[in-house]
A = this chain, B = another copy of it.
Amino acid sequence: MELEGRAPQEADAPDTLGACAPARGFAVSEFQARLRAAQRLMADAGIDALLLTTEPDVRYFSGFQTLFWQSPTRPWFLIIPASGKPIAIIPEIGLVLMQSTWIEDIRTWAAPKPKDDGISLLIEALGALASGHGRLGIMKGHESQLRMPLGDYERLIAGLSGITVVDATGLVQSLRMVKSASEIEKIAHICEIASTSFAQAQSLFCAGQPLIEVFRKFRIACLTAGADDVPYLVGGAGQGGYRDVISPPSTRALKQGDILMLDTGAVFDGYFCDFDRNFALGPASDAARRTYDTLYRATDAGLSAARPGATCREVLGAMNAVIGGSGSDVGRMGHGLGMQLTEQPSMAAFDDTVLTEGMVVTLEPSMSFGDGQMMVHEENLVIQNGPPRLLSDRASSQIEVLQ
């Protein structure tokens, strides 16, 4: 199997941590299949070219993977034509890495160049693909972003006279929502790494430890277990329960009577896990134990409902039936998972997406209790015929007590 999406390598050496890890990158045939599927949908929608600007969208069709996107300075573009291979229009600094992917038509400029950061190259390429009265697909819907300066975008559109911009968000998201076997194995692997790390909680965390040290130890545990990176780690701790689930760690020390929650998005080969675990420092209060039990049963209900053919709204309904009216107001109780920490679809009342085999999603029921406290559970799973395949080791049925 020819693997792509990586810089040229000399001989591969054994990766001591990677003995059981899936192969990195993807076979060219996988990119070919993604392209064919996109071009079929483009033909149905009468779209002459797709313009992609974000890291996951560009990576999905090219295999181009780099942390260099952390720098906001330079835009990167990938064009999907109605037929033929994608065209990369990228800063010169990315040429060598892009050449290592399956992409052949690579056009570069010496970015940054504020007066023309790829715009004239885009106008030339898109003008040829969708001339006159053509239709250009752009990601402009829910959960999308335009990763280029808005002023540059306006100049691009002004330079493409006669072309109609259409929203291609649903088209691209419908493809990315359903994962291939290779994608699922990468997500499964990083879920296993995070499960292994959470399983070390008794030796990692203890009363007296500042929360920021809890976070540090957990990050190191994930890296040591084989994660490439831990881009997302949030959580909270408080007496009888936490009140917030998105804060960075404070320097407050854990103490007896706290409930601690850690929620992690670690990464392997560009694919995320996203699940949390709750711990009690010493015996938990009745209220916390009751809440934990309710959320555990809500997750079970979600797992029972998560079948091909069910809608996201129905899965939400199954969880809400257990929780009752006291669900907290975070807008949804689960979501897609893959190259991004959160992806389409949403386990939400507004989302009628029908689950199909190969979708990787989280179930994330949450509820308020006590005096402004809240609790969140989360598991990662693959939709398949019959019961879903759990990728995260199921949380214990009762809250784990740290001694």
Task: Choose among B10, B73, B213 the residue that contacts A346 (Cβ–Cβ < 8 A).
Answer: B73
| Interfacial chain B residues near A16, Cβ < 8 Å | 210, 213
The chain A residues found within 8 Å of chain B, CB to CB, are 6-18, 24, 65-68, 70-74, 91-94, 96-97, 100, 110-115, 117, 138-151, 153-154, 167, 169, 208, 210, 212-213, 215-216, 219-220, 223-224, 228-234, 236, 238-239, 243-248, 250-253, 265, 329-332, 335, 340-342, 346, 348, 350
Q: A91-B330, A110-B330 are in contact. List 18 more A-B contacts (CB 8 A).
A: A7-B236, A7-B250, A15-B210, A18-B212, A66-B246, A67-B231, A72-B143, A72-B340, A73-B346, A91-B331, A93-B331, A96-B244, A110-B329, A112-B142, A112-B350, A140-B150, A219-B229, A229-B230
Task: Check A210–B13 contact: CB distance below 8 A.
Answer: yes
A244: chain B residues at CB < 8 Å are 7, 96-97
* B contact residues around A91 at 8 Å (CB): 330-331
Contact of A73 among B7, B167, B335 (CB under 8 A): B335
Q: Which of B70, B142, B220, B248 contacts A117 (CB 8 A)?
A: B142
Contact status B145-A141, CB under 8 Å: no
**Given the complex of chains A and B, what is the CA–CA distance between A13 and B249 in angstroms?**
12
Which residues of chain B have C-beta atoms less than 8 A from A24's C-beta? 251
What are 16 residue pairs bridging A and B, where the CB atoms are less than 8 Å apart in the complex? A10-B238, A10-B239, A14-B251, A67-B232, A68-B246, A73-B342, A92-B329, A112-B143, A112-B350, A113-B331, A114-B142, A140-B154, A146-B146, A216-B223, A220-B220, A229-B233
Enumerate chain B residues within 8 angstroms of A94, measured Cβ to Cβ: 246
Q: Please name all residues of chain B whose beta carbon is closer than 8 Å to the beta carbon of A17 when the two chains form the complex.
A: 213, 216
A19 to B392, CA, bound (A): 37
Nearest chain B residue, comparing its CB with the CB of A366: B93
Q: Are B150 and A138 in contact (CB under 8 A)?
A: yes
Chain B hits for A224, CB < 8 A: 216, 220
**CB closest residue in chain B, given A96:** B244
Are the CB atoms of B348 and A70 closer together than 8 Å? no
In the bound complex, CA of A147 to CA of B143 (Å)? 10
